[in-house]
Amino acid sequence: MHWTEYLPPLMQGAWVTIQLTFYSTLLGGLLAFAAGIGKISSNWAIKGVSVAYIEVFRGTSLLVQLFWLYFALPIAGMAIGLDLRLPPVVAGVLALSLNIGAYGAEVVRGAIQSVHKDQHEAARALNFTPRQTLWTITIPQAIPEMMPSFGNLAVQNLKDTALVSLISLGDLTFRAEQIRNFTQDSTTIYSMLLVTYFGMALVLTAIMRGLEAYVSRWRVARS
């Protein structure tokens, strides 16, 4: 088999990887905001849930989380009479998002807390409620601070998607394994795999930089 013949199945897998990365980064970002804001909430219940979520998912392996959602949850569900079987793609996106969300939550929290106290005082003097202050003053200023870390997390997430091949999801790594099993051409296949992931990471980094520039545009406006 010529190496060009590996391309169509690999591209199919790459498309799955792109989708996984896209959805899990998006959902992970939402979770990061929810838990990051929750962690600095004055409501102890919200704070408790956020802290527990962050610590559990940062403190355990992504692979184990993935296996737990895919293999253990259905059995646990059965024990209480619920059908909790998840399609591989759902289990994959869920595990990846929950994981990146836990790391992202710390980024969100840190960025929000880095906004200067002067800004809170100005908001208070203008009689904004704490909620209005958070959403109109603090978070818009915190988002540009978060972006470099979010960029790293997104790339990390792209690379982590390789793990979902272990629950038989047809991503890039899964396809590569299939071809390798068939052809035993490990060097070519794994080299192509490296190059493809690297290319996707470059594109993703560029996208995140663009996003960063977009949310920070007020910082660089020229006079």
Partner 1 sequence: MTDEPIIKFDKVIKRFGDLTVLNELDFEVKKGEKVSIIGPSGSGKSTVLRILMTLEGINGGVVTVNGEPLWHEKGPDGTLKPASEAHLHKMRAQLGMVFQQFNLFPHMTVLRNITEAPVKVLGLSKQEARQRAEELLELVGLADQAQKYPHQLSGGQQQRVGIARALAMRPNILLFDEPTSALDPELVGEVLNVIGKLAHEHDLTMLLVTHEMRFAREISDRVCFFDQGRIREEGAPEELFTDPSEERTREFLQAVLDS
CB of 7 to partner 1, least distance (A): 45
Instruction: List the one residue from 8, 48, 87, 140 that touches partner 1 (CB under 8 A).
Output: 140
64 to 29, 82, 115, 173, 205: CA distances (angstroms)? 21, 22, 36, 18, 27
> Which string of DSSP letters, residue by residue, matches 13-60?
HHHHHHHHHHHHHHHHHHHHHHHHHHHT-S-HHHHHHHHHHHHHHHSS
CB 140 within 8 A of CB 108: no
52 to 48, 93, 106, 111: CA distances (angstroms)? 6, 21, 13, 20
**Based on CB atoms, which residue is closest to partner 1, 45 or 125?**
125
Q: Judged by CB under 8 A, which stretch of 73-81, 96-104, 130-138, 156-164 contacts partner 1?
A: 130-138
CB 138 within 8 A of CB 120: yes
The Cα 75–Cα 89 span in angstroms is: 18
CB of 149 to partner 1, least distance (A): 19
Taking CB under 8 A as the rule, does residue 222 contact partner 1? yes
Instruction: List the one residue from 20, 62, 69, 137 that touches partner 1 (CB under 8 A).
Output: 137
The Cα 97–Cα 181 span in angstroms is: 30
CB of 136 to partner 1, least distance (A): 6
Structure-token pair, residue 206: 């560029």
Instruction: List the one residue from 79, 80, 184, 219 that touches partner 1 (CB under 8 A).
Output: 219
CB of 150 to partner 1, least distance (A): 18
Site for partner 1 in 82-121 (CB under 8 A): 118-119, 121
Instruction: List the one residue from 124, 182, 198, 202 that touches partner 1 (CB under 8 A).
Output: 124
CB 1 within 8 A of CB 186: no
The Cα 50–Cα 93 span in angstroms is: 20
Taking CB under 8 A as the rule, does residue 132 contact partner 1? yes
Instruction: List the one residue from 60, 136, 168, 191 that touches partner 1 (CB under 8 A).
Output: 136
Instruction: List the one residue from 60, 129, 168, 191 that touches partner 1 (CB under 8 A).
Output: 129
CB of 68 to partner 1, least distance (A): 41
Taking CB under 8 A as the rule, does residue 221 contact partner 1? yes
Taking CB under 8 A as the rule, does residue 223 contact partner 1? yes
Structure-token pair, residue 44: 């102890």
Residue where the block lists tokens 């051409």: 185
Query: Where do contacts with partner 1 occur on this chain (CB under 8 A)?
Result: 118-119, 121-122, 124-129, 132, 136-137, 140-141, 218-219, 221-223
